[in-house]
Structure 1
Amino acid sequence: MPKINGNEIRPGYVLEHDGGLWGAVKVDHVKPGKGGAFAQVEMKNLRDGRKLNERFRSADKVERVRLEQKDMQFLFESDGQLTFMDVETYDQVTLDAELLGDRRPFLQDGMTIVVEFHDEEALNATVPQKVTCVIVETEPVVKGQTAANSFKPAILDNGVRVMVPPFVGQDEAIIVNTETMEYSERA
């Protein structure tokens, strides 16, 4: 594994620290008036979800871990566990549903997502950035309501509430950005 300096840590990096695998969630570079600069890193344990705040000086060496990414197909959910299948080998992997957080409703049957592995152990899963959803409920279109940046609330087929432009109506398919949880475009 490559070792990097403490000041080279970026959000999204996976580090081996204190005998565990940690994902860097937030990184602040601090340069105090007295003493050397350091990186204040908020990390999350990829196995059990614990959080940790740690300081790394530029002279500190940290082990950066590269995760292998595989495209897998979502099969089903049972008892808070999500089951995915490798489309090439048909191997099945289960992950905790809480891993996806508030993006969980965007997971659809048969959807291909990216699962990250470290030494054959599945650690993380990411939903595609753009997902097509159908609007189940929204206010009707009001003629003459063309003010710039006016949005109206809408409820999607997966139960998520988003703000949509006034010209989008009920039963229309839209594309939602899963990172920002916002309307992106019409499908």
Structure 2
Amino acid sequence: MPKINGNEIRPGNVLEHDGHLWAAVKVDHVKPGKGGAFAQVELKNLRNGSKLNERFRSADKVERVRLEQKDMQFLFESDGRLTFMDTETFEQVELDADILGERRPFLQDGMTIVVEFHDSEALNATLPQKVVCTIEETEPVVKGQTAANSFKPALLDNGVRVTVPPFVGTGEQIVVNTETMEYSERA
């Protein structure tokens, strides 16, 4: 496995640290007035979900792990477990529902997502970057409201609240960015 310097760690990287697999959730590069620069990294254990804050100096070497990615189709959820199927081999895999975190409501029946494997063990799932949702309720369109940065709250069909431009109305379909959980465009 390739080793990278501590200052090369980016969010989303999977690292082997202290004998466990960790995903870098948040990375802050700190340059204190005294001493050398370092990366303050928030890590999440891919097997049990525990979190760890760690400092890596640029001289520190960390093993970066490459995960095998497969497109899989979401089938159903039962008892807090999500079941996915490989569309080529029809093999089924189960993952905890909380692996998607706050993005869980965007998972739709039959949706194709990317499941990441390490030595045939399913560790992580990633939703598509853009998902089409329907607006359940929002404020009515105000005529003449053309301010460039004016947004209004809206409730989506999956229960998530987002802000949308004033011209978008109830019942319309919009595209939501699942990474930022924000309105992207009309569908």
Report TM bin, short chain: over 0.9
How does 1:166-181 map onto structure 2 within 5 Å? 166-181=166-181
Q: Distance in 2 between matches of 1:21 and 1:59?
A: 21
Q: Distance in 2 between matches of 1:27 and 1:168?
A: 36
Q: Distance in 2 between matches of 1:31 and 1:146?
A: 43
Match of 2:80 in 1: 80
Match of 2:150 in 1: 150
1:146 and 1:43, CA in 2 relative to 1: closer, same or farther beyond 3 A?
same
Q: Distance in 2 between matches of 1:123 and 1:173?
A: 32
Residue type at the aligned position of 1:130: K
1:136 and 1:28, CA in 2 relative to 1: closer, same or farther beyond 3 A?
closer
Q: Distance in 2 between matches of 1:17 and 1:25?
A: 14
TM superposition score normalised by structure 1: 0.93
- Cα deviation for residue 35 of structure 1 reads 3.8
Is residue 46 of structure 2 the alignment partner of residue 62 of structure 1?
no
1:121 and 1:143, CA in 2 relative to 1: closer, same or farther beyond 3 A?
same
Match of 2:15 in 1: 15
Q: Distance in 2 between matches of 1:54 and 1:169?
A: 46
Match of 2:137 in 1: 137
Cα distance per residue 1:135-167 (max 9 Å; x no partner): 111122222222222222211111111111121
Q: Distance in 1 between matches of 2:9 and 2:30?
A: 13
Match of 2:91 in 1: 91
Percent sequence identity over aligned pairs: 87
Match of 1:103 in 2: 103
CA RMSD of aligned residues (A): 1.5
- Residue 102 of structure 2: SS of its match in structure 1? helix
In structure 2, runs of 5+ residues without a counterpart are none
Q: Distance in 2 between matches of 1:22 and 1:155?
A: 34
- Residue 147 of structure 1: SS of its match in structure 2? coil
Deviates more, 1:108-117 or 1:26-35: 26-35
- Cα deviation for residue 109 of structure 1 reads 0.2
- Cα deviation for residue 77 of structure 1 reads 0.5
Q: Distance in 2 between matches of 1:91 and 1:158?
A: 28
Is residue 165 of structure 2 the alignment partner of residue 165 of structure 1?
yes
- Cα deviation for residue 36 of structure 1 reads 3.6
TM superposition score normalised by structure 2: 0.93
1:140 and 1:64, CA in 2 relative to 1: closer, same or farther beyond 3 A?
same
Deviates more, 1:73-82 or 1:50-59: 50-59
Q: Distance in 2 between matches of 1:36 and 1:138?
A: 51
- Residue 154 of structure 1: SS of its match in structure 2? strand
Match of 1:50 in 2: 50
Deviates more, 1:138-147 or 1:155-164: 138-147
Residue type at the aligned position of 1:178: T
